[in-house]
Amino acid sequence: MIYFDHAATTPVRPEAAQAAYEAMVNGYGNPSSRYPLGKQAAQQREQDRKTLAKALGCQPGELFFTSCGTESDNWAIYGAVERGKHRGKHIITTAVEHSAVVEPIKELKRAGYEVTWLQPDAAGQISLEELKAALRPDTVLVSMMLVNNELGTVLPVAEAVKLVRASGAPALVHCDAVQGFLKVPFTPKKLGVDLLSISGHKIGAPKGIGALYVRKGLQNWKPLLRGGGQESGLRSGTEPTAQIAAFAKAAELGAEEMAANAAHMQELKAYLLARLAERVPEVWQLGAGDAPHILCLTLPGYKSEVLVRVLGDKGICVSAGSACHRGQASHVFAALPVGKPWKEGAFRVSFGGENIREEADQLTEALREAVDTLFPSMS
């Protein structure tokens, strides 16, 4: 099998699985328990928080564990509007956000919030001029992702934050950095954001663990779940210590290897593009694809669902846009100002550190064969 779908999820690193195993089998105490087994679990959890904070470039006290990136996004969005409810009811976001941001914001729109959706250009990029023009004295939330999961575009979050602050709008700025964490260099502080979401299963940890960064000093941040008072009373629920341990281990290793991995994936991406240009000139690149691990391609005139199935039958895993769409047309491609055949033929190749050139060669030949055997309009 050839796995080219790392933006959907990543294989769990053996070291992360081992850390989870240790936490489950030996360090299984409840971190809230007062005897040594519990205290040991609490100490390990704090050690893991420190490790993750170091990889992200923030303080341990600014990180709150959640169950996934979606939960972090939802908490950030609902929390920001709750905090700003006496200041206004205007939200700014982009039309290319993940559904974990889009859906809560649509819900807020139904509840009476006014929403400005910043539209992408053909490369998937968002205009700072449009953001500047949209900012208002009643804007309480600006949510902009760091790396788009379908196109790989890196959005200008740091510049956006500067515009928000200069405008005097009372907005909190949230960044969905689920696809950016350990793929492109940043720290929440350098971006200047108030809130930032990350997820474990995109970096070699298992599914079921994420975190929300909440800038130190942010006053009046409300709990997401109320109960036993875990996570400083902000997100109750017995901590999933095994997933936390795995998240920390994957982040630690990912941070050490980030520069080398990014260079490897960029090189592989350039190699694949060169091979495709030679062997399958019918394939085009969609979007800027700035992030090292994501490459969005399209075969205009072909249907990407069919293509993904044909490649899947050959043991090659790529994705027809975001895996979260469950067969529905992607809102990201819908927003992209390119022709319908380009949108319908779009598929995503996303790399990991373990991918090699031979796999890119096999994908190239499988695409050549697909183009030769599938009839464009009937594919």
Which residue, 68 or 246, has its beta carbon nearer to ligand PLP?
68
Which parts of 116-155 interact with ligand PLP (CB under 6 A)?
Answer: 145, 149
Stretch that binds ligand PLP, among 88-96, 106-114, 175-183, 331-339 (CB under 6 A): 175-183
Rounded Cα distance between 367 and 177, Å, is 31
Stretch that binds ligand PLP, among 66-74, 227-235, 335-343, 356-364 (CB under 6 A): 66-74
206: contact with ligand PLP by CB under 6 A: no
240: contact with ligand PLP by CB under 6 A: no
Name the token pair of 185: 């260099």
Q: Which of 218, 174, 198 is nearest to 68 (CA)?
A: 198
Closest distance of CB 370 from ligand PLP, Å: 25
Which residue, 94 or 116, has its beta carbon nearer to ligand PLP?
94
204: contact with ligand PLP by CB under 6 A: no
Rounded Cα distance between 290 and 19, Å, is 33
48: contact with ligand PLP by CB under 6 A: no
Of positions 153, 179, 319, 379, contacts ligand PLP by CB under 6 A: 179
Q: Please provide residue 297's backbone torsions phi and psi, each rounded to the nearest 5 degrees.
A: -120, 160
Which residue, 215 or 293, has its beta carbon nearer to ligand PLP?
293
Give the residue at shortest CB distance from ligand PLP: 69
Stretch that binds ligand PLP, among 79-87, 171-179, 224-232, 326-334 (CB under 6 A): 171-179
> How many residues belong to the site for ligand PLP (CB under 6 A)?
15
Q: Which residues are catalytic?
A: 324
Cα-based distances in Å from 270 to 263, 275, 334, 346 = 11, 9, 27, 18
Neighbouring-strand partners of residue 213:
63, 196
**How does DSSP assign 311-376, residue by residue?**
HHHTTEE-BSS-GGGTTSPPHHHHHSSS-HHHHHTEEEEE--TT--HHHHHHHHHHHHHHHHHS-G
Rounded Cα distance between 92 and 140, Å, is 8
Neighbours of 363 (CB within 10 A): 23
Closest distance of CB 170 from ligand PLP, Å: 25
**271, HSE (Cβ side, Cα atoms, 13 Å):** 16
100: contact with ligand PLP by CB under 6 A: yes
Binding interface with ligand PLP (CB under 6 A):
68-70, 73, 98, 100, 145, 149, 176, 178-179, 199, 201, 210, 324
